[in-house]
A and B are shown apart, each in its own frame.
Chain A
Amino acid sequence: MAVAAVVVLAATAAGYGAVRTTHKTTTTATAQSKSFPLLKLSWEAPDYFDPALSYTVEGWEVLWNVYAGLLGYKHVNGADGGTVIPYLAAKMPTISNGGKLFKFTLRSNLKYSNGQAVKASDFKCTIERDYQMSSPGVGFFSSIQGATAYSKLKAAAMKKGNISGIVTNDSAGTIEIKLTHPEGDMLNILATEFAAFVPCGTPASDQSTHPTPATGPYEIVKYTPHQSFTLEKNPNFDAQIPGIPSGNAQKIVATIYTDNAQAAQSVASNHSDYDFLAIPTDRLGSYEQKYGKRIRIYTPADTFYFFLNQKYAPFNNIKAREAVDYAISRKQMVQLFGGLAVPTENILPPNYKAYKKITAFPVNGDMAKAKQLVAQSGTTGDSVTLWTPSVEPDQSIIEYEQSILNQLGYKTTLKVIDPQIYFSTIENQSTKAQTGYVDWYQDYPNPIDWFDVLFNGERITQTNNNDVGNTNVPSINKQIDKLKTKQPSAAVNAGWAKVDRELVTQDYAAAPYVTRSGTDFFSTRMNMGCYVFNVLYQWDFATACLK
């Protein structure tokens, strides 16, 4: 699980002297109950604000307090933040039939922000809407009876059809979910934003700029892409979900930045209360000296890697992929994050019980061996296009990869695109993206979320394809399919560790390089005693309070 109990900050002797600051995180929020009128945020562009489509930290960290599903997570620090609790459901489900039948009962008198009653059938409509919109989350629901057949219908037929495995009763407020086979992570899946309720009748198109009614403590009242978004207290929330704080800020206004330096400066000068973006690496040392008490360093469960698309040359050649793993210096790449990262060769982050450290490649890279592998692959001189979002350090990371590929003898071109459309672009098969930037933060604390989502060839889709490298190894797919039906245990963890190792050292499916830490930077008026960092959704703005 994520987050060390105590974090000590120190600056290098290279220019800034040494500063030691100790911050003790608490296991529960020590929020004052006093509300305040306005919270100002500096944010990064989300992909979407539609719960069916959003699949980035930038989106989910907002939507977590806006759209609720049957289940959710505790709003607390530490590993306990990964505990699933009932949200719209009155209690945890009854699981029967060998783990293939989940029964829920809705809380009574639930309302959306527009006053409309929350109905059991809204859950069915929500999941079917996900399929109608080719949501990136549909793969999570594939084990629901009738879901696969529903996914194959044409758009018009989908509107008339339904997913037979979801049975709802509005008057009783009950929801039954029937699975084709047991799913070890079904509770986590139902806690994702893809399962967050929207009313029946919500159009099956992106509603980001016309936000759907909310069930959480906040509702999105305005969103201007690339510019800003505004949240206000949901007038009908009324603490209807005990596990979610009601929120202290009456109104939240966020400005969207693409420039880390500007975002950091906005908080440093107290024009904004919180900086979502990472502090620029060249200012980390000086900011720690000046603003150390307002900065929190966190280590979420994440992995940064280069995807290597196996559908197209040169990376359809295993030796070419292996060459990339040997060529990169993971130790050097840590500098691109200002030191706020740890080299890794694993897909799973180190805070997982299933993690078993892989040390197959020299941490400083081995360019000679990599060149040998490229020569053996016969792909020298191939054209390679690298993809990156136009933000830092992403662009620098890919420029580094480009320099590596140039040394390996490839002819490279860089494509830099807006971060708001980056993932939807590279995840579209028609883009034919060969390699580029990917980062992955856990959706929920289970290896299924890594291997089944990112590397199971059976989940490859035409659009919103999370398996960007088109990894499709039948033996590994089989292992994943088997492991994901089981509840966590030592044997299951060993199985996941084996999958991790096979993907990295036998198939060279991707080139992981770091697990990154991040910074939460606050204005002077924010009370740091209220700081709650959730292992999945990061900083919980609903708990924010002032001094």
Chain B
Amino acid sequence: MSAREDQSIDFTLDTASELASAEHGPIEGKSPWTLAWRRLRRNYVALASLGVFLLVVVVCCLAPVYAHDVAHTGPNSVHLGETIKIHGKEVPVVSIGYMETIKGVVHFHAGGAPLGPQWGAAGGRYILGGDQLGRDTAVRILYGGLNSLRVGILSAAICIMMAVTLALLAGFYRGSVDWVISRFFDLVWAFPAILLAIALGAALSLNGIHWGPIHVSGGNIWIPTFVIAFVTVPYVGRPLRGQVLSLREKEFVEAARGQGASNVRIMFREILPNIASTVLVLFTLIVAGNILIEAGLSFLGAGVQPPNPSWGNLIADGEDRIQTAPWLAIVPGVAIVITAVSLNIFGDGLRDALDPRAKVRVGR
């Protein structure tokens, strides 16, 4: 039966050539990546999610521009005791309180309350208000996003690099190499990731890392980055190891060996491309997860160290003021949700697009 006679067909790679010859001109071979992109292009929800994530990234990357040109302050700049002009009137950034003794009687005037959200009333400054040190909340949320995204993306990249390398070594060499690497995965996996991250993060952020020539101070952002990368390695390494074990037995590997390819070449030129799609999907999902882990660590004081903002420690700071200034905790929380959800949805869409056994019904 020809394609035209059947009103709905299963579109697979095998039928691509039939369709091409039935439709227009000579057959052009399409790489799996091109076909995957075609599938992804049709998944509007996934693309929209990617758009949302990219928007978050762009907005956070513009934090220095916003801080310099709109808010005119830095994320850690303290403005205690300063005033700003709102509707032509000088208003203290943090309300003035004091105690005074008049005729032996002590009078107390409550102060210390930070400015609330000004939106546009202060010429772009303190749009979301300030904190107890007079720091601009909106600036800190943007910079917090920058730090959270930086930690999330970098830690995912490091995790992927470590996991791929270990998975290739374990799956290809098998034997004692596989045994050692698998036990390492088991050991790290045995600890709940968040608890292990908290323990490592708290210890290393206090003392820093001082191993031989490596000196990283406790407040450095690389500490939570490496900690999160380390604890998530097994979550990527183990599934990849399984794939490598399977691919190792394929004929193309045998053929490459027969042609005299070295083990390293086989691992990185033959096997790695075949797990690339899995790696890509895992990367997007791991980024989302790592952003959440970072938020949790920073909330508990074991991640990004104050005064540097991150969404997690901004939620912790805002927790104290949840009744009087709830936006301080809610805004970074919503930002985390939007970022993580958009990445997860895009990751799901990417997985559907990259899976070679996907079937798309084409109605005629």
A141 to chain B, nearest CB (A): 34
In the complex, identify which listed stretch (B41-49, B258-266, B322-330) lies at the interface while the others stay far away.
Answer: B322-330
Of the A-B pairs whose beta carbons lie under 8 Å apart in the complex, a sample of 25, sorted by A's number, is: A5-B104, A10-B108, A12-B95, A14-B113, A261-B323, A282-B112, A282-B132, A285-B110, A286-B324, A288-B110, A329-B81, A331-B81, A335-B95, A335-B96, A337-B97, A338-B111, A339-B109, A340-B99, A342-B99, A390-B301, A393-B132, A395-B306, A400-B133, A413-B218, A517-B99
Check A416/B80 contact, CB under 8 A, given A261-B323, A336-B112.
no
Partner of B301, one of A9, A297, A416: A416
- B98 within 8 Å of A (CB atoms): yes
A6 within 8 Å of B by Cβ? yes
Query: Cβ of A261 and Cβ of B320 under 8 Å apart?
Result: yes
Task: Using C-beta atoms within 8 Å of the partner chain, give the interface range for chain B.
Answer: 35 or more
Q: Which residues of A contact B152 (CB under 8 A)?
A: none
Give the interface centre of A10, A282, A395 by most chain B CB atoms within 10 Å.
A282
B residues whose Cβ falls under 8 Å from a Cβ of A = 76-78, 80-81, 92, 94-99, 101, 104-114, 132-133, 206, 217-219, 301, 305-307, 319-325
Interchain nearest-CB distance for A344 vs B (Å): 12
Check B320–A332 contact: CB distance below 8 A: no
Q: Does A396 contact B (CB under 8 A)?
A: yes
B27, chain A: closest CB distance, angstroms: 63
Q: What residues of chain A lie closer than 8 Å to B306, measured between beta carbons?
A: 395, 399, 414, 416
In the bound complex, do residue B80 and residue A14 qualify as a contact, i.e. CB atoms below 8 Å apart? no
Asked whether, in the complex, the Cβ of B132 is within 8 Å of the Cβ of A8, the reply is no
Contact residues of B: prevailing secondary structure: loop
Given the complex, which residues of B lie within 8 Å of A364, measured CB to CB? 81
Contacts of B96 in A (CB 8 A): 12, 14, 335, 339
Residues A4 and B301 in contact, CB atoms below 8 Å apart:
no
Q: Which residues of A contact B101 (CB under 8 A)?
A: 4
Residues of B within 8 A of A338 (CB): 97, 110-113
* CB atoms of A280 and B320 under 8 A apart: yes
Residue-wise, chain A 331-354 has the 8 Å CB interface mask toward B (1 for contact) of: 111111111111000000000000
Known pairs A7-B105, A414-B306; list 17 more (Cβ under 8 Å): A4-B106, A8-B105, A12-B97, A14-B95, A259-B320, A280-B320, A284-B111, A284-B112, A285-B113, A334-B111, A335-B80, A335-B112, A336-B80, A338-B112, A341-B99, A390-B301, A403-B77
A416 contacts which of B107, B110, B305, B320 (Cβ < 8 Å)?
Answer: B305
* Cβ-based interface call for A36 (8 A): no
Say which size band chain A's interface belongs to. 35 or more
Q: Give the residues in chain B near A399, CB-CB below 8 Å.
A: 78, 133, 306-307
Task: Give the chain B neighbours of A439 by CB distance below 8 A.
Answer: none
B321 A396 Cβ-Cβ under 8 A: no
Q: Is the CB of B104 within 8 A of A335?
A: no
Q: Shortest distance in angstroms between A149's beta carbon and chain B's nearest beta carbon?
A: 37
Measured between beta carbons, the chain B residues less than 8 angstroms from A271 are none
CB < 8 Å neighbour of A340 from B78, B108, B320: B108
Determine the distance from Cα of A335 to Cα of B95 in the docked complex, in whole angstroms.
Answer: 7
| Interface pairs A-B: 8 shortest CB-CB | A339-B97, A281-B112, A338-B112, A332-B81, A285-B110, A339-B111, A284-B110, A403-B78
Chain B positions within 8 Å of A402 at CB level: 307
Q: How many A-B residue pairs have CB under 8 A?
A: 155
> Most chain-B Cβ atoms within 10 A of its Cβ — which of A329, A339, A390, A392?
A339
B87 → A minimal CB distance (Å): 15
User: What residue of chain A has the Cβ atom nearest to residue B207's Cβ?
Assistant: A415
8 Å CB contact of B112 from A261, A265, A329, A337: A337
Q: Please, which residue of chain B has its CB at the minimum distance from the CB of A412?
A: B219
- State the Cβ distance, B302 to closest chain A Cβ, in Å: 10
Beyond A260-B320, A334-B97, A417-B206, is A396–B132 a contact (Cβ under 8 Å)?
yes
Residues in B with CB closer than 8 Å to A395 are 306
Q: Complex: how many Å from CA A16 to CA B133?
A: 21
Structural contact, A415 and B218, CB atoms closer than 8 A: yes
Q: How far is the CA of A286 from the CA of B96 in the complex (A)?
A: 15
A6 to B92, CA, bound (A): 30
Contact residues of A between 76 and 111, Cβ < 8 Å to B: none
- Asked if A261 meets B77 with Cβ closer than 8 Å, knowing A283-B324, A335-B112, the reply is no
Closest to A286 in B: B324
Q: Which residues of A contact B325 (CB under 8 A)?
A: 282
- By a CB distance below 8 angstroms, the chain A residues around B80 are 329, 332-333, 335-336, 400
Residue of B nearest to A413 (CB): B219
B193 CB to closest chain A CB (Å) equals: 23
Say whether A187 faces chain B, with CB atoms less than 8 Å apart. Answer: no
Q: How far is the CA of A414 from the CA of B305 in the complex (A)?
A: 7
CA A417 to CA B218, docked complex, whole Å: 12
List chain B residues, Cβ under 8 A from A337: 97, 112
Distance A41 CA – B163 CA, assembled complex (angstroms): 51
